[in-house]
Amino acid sequence: MLGLSLALEPLFGRAIGAKDFKSMGAWLQRSLIILLLADVPISVLWLNAEAILLACAQPKEIAAIAGLFLRYQLPQNSLMAIVMPLRLFARSQGHTTPIAMGASRGFLLQIPLNYLFMDYIRLGVVGPAIAGYCFEIVHIVFLVSHGAYNQTFAPCWPGWSPRVWAVGWGTFLRLGVPCCAALWLQVWSFETLVLMGGWLPNPAYNIAALAIAFYINAVLSGITFGVATASSTRIAMALGANKPQIAALASRAFLLVGLGLGAVIALALAAFRNPLIGLLTSEPEMVRRASKILLVLALYAVLDSPQQVAQGILQGSARPHVVFLIVLITQYPIGIVASFVLGFKERPGVSGLWMGMVIADVAQLGAEVTLVWLTNWEIQAANTGTQLARSLEIVYAGENISYASVAMKQTYKP
């Protein structure tokens, strides 16, 4: 859901940059329907998760518990198909308060709800699944109520009609599918590290140490992800407003911000790695192994922060297919192979596995920054103008078609 919804970053950003608010509403309609349809095969897969796990020779007890949990988590996945477009719709207009309020209120409800469902009502593993979609419901309520109260939907709503939502799917999927594939490849590159960690001596300690590093990295990546999404939206808005010079300047500024942020995170991680690990475990061997990994993770953070920003810039300029190709080439033929060599052949152990990801990040950062630096932003702005013209023709197809032409002439003055 997250991967597909990332298609909306350039689409919303370009539309708001061009002051084409009705196109935002049209893309919101299409995204809601496409994501809900994408939820159907996922739901079928989750409904049959127990049988699939048994076919993969997993223990019956684990397969039964996992299957039960996923069946009860189905509503959360459907709710996420609604939450993600609404969040991007609000964020692209600068309405970040309802997003933060919805997420924080939903998070605060998690502790009492989990206690209620797991301990008091004794639903067991089903409890967290139910609490999960309660979180999504709270999020939707905040987003919709804020939009209704501040009238952020009204200027953007072209009317609910098949003439609006049944077209333009090709554009959405051309952006969304590569975003989804790139995200999937990145996630599974880390899952491959866990698999390789199980092949090293003392696999239980290796996997536990990797899990600690993954958790800390996920928390810290949330900071850089925020900057990356801001860069994506800002670039898209500049291109939508036909301001290529602003897009060029913003891309360089965001890269510098990403580099500085990565350095700060790396220094904090290196200095406070043992206290951070102590929050998650006190077992001496796990602390020792995780401490070594976090030193490598600090180096990884220096590179990953500007890399995420560069990736956001490329996605904001509607080039997710380029990101997908870079991730495919750098994470697997380079990163996974380097992890295997450093983890097994050179014998630095589990920290060598993550060093392979550092090498992959060097390659990915170099490729993405080079592309951003060499981008001809005038051409990107011209391409954006053409795409927005098509979008206007779709949205206003039932009205006087000359209105779209007039709008384009007003928006894109030579």
pLDDT digits (tens, 9 = 90+) for 63-93: 888 888 888 888 888 898 999 999 888 888 8
Per-residue pLDDT tens, the chain, 414 aa: give them: 788 888 888 889 888 888 888 888 889 999 999 999 999 999 999 999 889 888 877 678 878 888 888 888 888 888 989 999 998 888 888 888 878 887 777 778 877 887 888 778 878 778 888 888 888 888 888 888 887 777 777 788 777 878 788 888 988 999 999 999 999 999 889 888 888 888 888 888 888 888 888 888 888 888 898 899 999 999 999 998 899 999 999 999 999 999 999 999 999 999 999 898 888 888 888 888 899 899 999 999 999 999 999 999 999 998 999 999 999 999 999 999 999 999 887 666 788 899 999 999 999 999 999 999 999 999 998 887 766 666 555 555 544 433 344 344 434 333
Residue 390: the pLDDT is 61
- Report the alpha-carbon distance of residue 363 to residue 370 in Å, rounded: 11
Smallest Cα–Cα separation from 200: which of 47, 354, 82?
354
* pLDDT tens track for 137-146: 888 888 888 8
pTM listed for this prediction: 0.85
- Report the alpha-carbon distance of residue 58 to residue 98 in Å, rounded: 42
Domain layout of the chain by residue ranges: 1-167, 175-375, 381-411
Which amino acid is it at 352?
G
Dihedral in degrees, nearest 10, Cα atoms 224, 171, 326, 313: -40
- Report the alpha-carbon distance of residue 101 to residue 393 in Å, rounded: 37
Are the beta carbons of 295 and 324 closer than 8 angstroms? no
Distance of CA 377 to the CA centre of its chain: 25
What the block records as the tokens of 213 is 């590093």
Which residues, in sequence order, are CB contacts of 17 under 8 Å at separation 6+?
A: 236, 237, 238, 239, 240, 241, 243
| 49, burial (CB in 10 Å: exposed 0-12, middle 13-18, buried 19+) | middle
To 5 degrees, how large is the angle CA 295–CA 271–CA 350?
Answer: 20
Residue 62: the pLDDT is 75
- Report the alpha-carbon distance of residue 53 to residue 71 in Å, rounded: 14
